[in-house]
Every structure is written in C-alpha cells, then in structure tokens.
Structure 1
Amino acid sequence: MTAARARVHDAALVTFDERRTAPTTEMSRPPGLRLQLTRPRADLTVLTAAGDIDSSNVAELADLLWPALLVEHSSIVLDFTAVTFLGVAGLELLSAANTYAPHRGLRIVLIAGQPAVERAVRAGSPDVALDRAPHLASCTTITAAAREREPARMLTA
C-alpha cells in the first residue's frame, strides 16, 4: 500500500497523504506559448512558435503576426515545428492572415511538423489552405520561386 492516494478534481491533481489531513494541490498547466520573430533576409519574416496555441494565448501570436503582414516582405514563414497543440482560435487566426496576405502581395508558408498541428490544419481545410514546407531550409527555395512568379510592382509617389 502507498502512503498517498490521488484523485483528479477540476483539472487539478489533489494528493492526500494518509499521515496528514490537508491536501496538497498541483495545477496541471499546459506549457506556455513561446514566440520569436526574426527577419533572416529582407524579403523573409520567420515567426517561430513553441507550445500550445489556443484561445488563452492566440492574441500574443496575433500581436506578432499582424504587424508582420503590414510590412513589405514577399513571404512570412510560420515555424510551428515545436507547437504541440493548435486550437480553433489559432486556426481562425491563420485563416484570416492567409486570406489577407495576398492583398499585401505576401505569401504565408507553414512548417507544421507535429502530428497534432498537421491534423488541426487538415481539419480546418479549405479555410486554412496555407502553403506548406517540411523545414525552414526549404523555405528559401519556396520564397525564391514565389519572387520569380510575381510581376514587378510599380512604386508610386
């Protein structure tokens, strides 16, 4: 027999020690969302995310993604290889950004990696019809090909 019994109650792990009367509580929390925005080249923005993307933190992702869509770049790469969960709120953000990007002459490329993210994106299809790449190194080729297909833009004063 063990000295402690455990039961789950309201997403918290409550442990009762038979020698004590007061329970100890450990909250089971998902890993926080970590974000990084880099511009390895003048025509490329890379937004790297790690952790869970859901309604509790999608605003953090939006705060980096939307300004990137307002800057003149030919491509935005979303590196989600370390994203462990992509919820409906994240899919809605990706869909809105992907709809808006062509109006700015931009292209969004997703590197998913994790099976949970791949399933979420497939389930959200065709609304989330993002260009895909297997890894960041392949995005150099994808963005170069996109530049060759684009007509030259005229700048007006």
Structure 2
Amino acid sequence: MSQEPPGVGCRPGPTASGSSPPDEPIMWLSCEVRGDVARVTVAGEIDLSNAHLVAELLESIVVVRAPLVAVDLSAVTFFGAYGISALLRAQRQLTERGGRLTLCQLSPVVRRVLDVTGTLTAFEVVERTPVGAAGRGLARPVIPIGTGS
C-alpha cells in the first residue's frame, strides 16, 4: 500500500486507542476478486466508527457470489466487538449462499480478541492467503466521523 488515496469521510475524530492523530485515516480496506476467490485486506483499527464499512464491503462480495472470501487481518491494530459482529454476519451470509469465509494471517490483537470472546473457533483461520488471491488492490483509507468504541 505505497500510495495513499484520499480518505473516506470528512470530519475526522478521535480513535478508540488514541494511536492516530485525528486527521489521519484509522483504517484501510482493499478488495480484489480473482476467479473464485475474493481477497479483502484490512489494516488499522476496526471499531464502532468504521466496522460497518467492513461489513458493507463483505456483504457486497456476497452479492458477487465469490465462493471463497479470504479476509487478511494481519495489519489490524485495534479490533472491537463491532468487528467481530461484522465478520460473523458476513460468514453467516456466505454460508447461506454456499460460500466460505476464511480469516488469514490474524494480527496478535485480532487473535487475542477472538480468543478471549470465544469466537475464534467460529471461524476458519488460515496462515496464508489462498493462491488465487495473490496481489493487492487499491486501498482506501477511512477517516472516522465519530468516536470509536
């Protein structure tokens, strides 16, 4: 993610962890669909202010009907309950349509939160992104509009 495209959102606000200055994006999303595999990469913080964007992106992939959605969470630095809800909802929708959601390369923060909440076992976790999903699409930074969780 060498280029920094313009942020999504207009009014920056404080983050839940306080790790980013208010005018900096707190999350980047990218998506690439190759054949039967959709790869979604999330970087930064997933909290109350932006988890709905992760959910909306995953829901739009469900509509495309990619049988496998691989979510790379290796660069996530904050992960709240709303992030868990977004992933569980996407997994349910994919399963209902005969698809599959995998979580790839969990950051220590994501792994810890999923483990502590007992939801880690609800997901298929793999250490490598599926072969058909190599490469990165254009990332879109997300600037928070309100406060985080």
Is residue 95–residue 128 contact of structure 1 (8 Å, CA) maintained in 2? no
Give the 3-state SS of the residue equivalent to 2:64 in structure 1.
coil
Per-residue displacement from partner, 1:13-54 (whole Å, max 9, x unpaired)?
xxxxxxxxxxxxxx8548510000101x21000010100000
Match of 1:149 in 2: none
Tell me the CA shift for residue 72 of structure 1. 1.8
Distance 2:48 2:79 in 1: 10
For the 8 Å contact 1:31–1:52, the answer to whether it is kept is: no
Contact 2:114 2:120 (C-alpha < 8 Å) held by counterparts: no
User: Could you tell me how far apart the structure 1 residues matched to 2:66 and 2:29 are?
Assistant: 19
Percent identity between matched residues is 28
The one-letter amino acid paired with 1:36 is S
Structure 1 or 2: more strand by fraction? 1
Equivalent of 1:114 in 107, 110, 115: 107
Contact 1:75 1:106 (C-alpha < 8 Å) held by counterparts = yes
Structure 2 gaps, min length 5: 1-13, 15-19, 133-149
**Match for 2:43 among 19, 42, 50?**
50
State the secondary structure of the residue aligned to 2:122: coil
**2:149 matched to 1:123?**
no
Aligned residue in 2 for 1:36 = 30
Equivalenced residue count is 113
Contact 1:95 1:127 in 2 (8 A): no
Amino acid aligned to 1:35: L
> Shift of the alpha carbon at 1:63?
2.2
Correspondence for 2:56: 63
Q: Distance in 1 between matches of 2:119 and 2:29?
A: 26
CA contact (8 A) 1:101 1:107 kept: yes
Q: 1:123 to 1:100 in 2, by over 3 A?
A: farther
What 5-or-longer segments of structure 1 have no aligned partner?
A: 1-10, 12-26, 142-157
Query: What TM-score, normalized to structure 1?
Result: 0.64
CA contact (8 A) 2:111 2:120 kept: no
TM-score (norm. length: structure 2):
0.67
The ranges of structure 1 where at least 4 consecutive aligned residues each deviate by more than 3 angstroms after the TM superposition are 27-31
1:4 is matched with which residue? Answer: none
For 1:54-73, what per-residue CA distance to the aligned partner results, in whole angstroms no more than 9, with x for missing partners? Answer: 00111221221111012222
> 1:144 is matched with which residue?
none
- Determine the structure 1 residue equivalent to 2:73: 80
Instruction: Compare relative contact order (CA 8 Å, sep 6+) and give the higher one, 1 or 2.
Output: 2
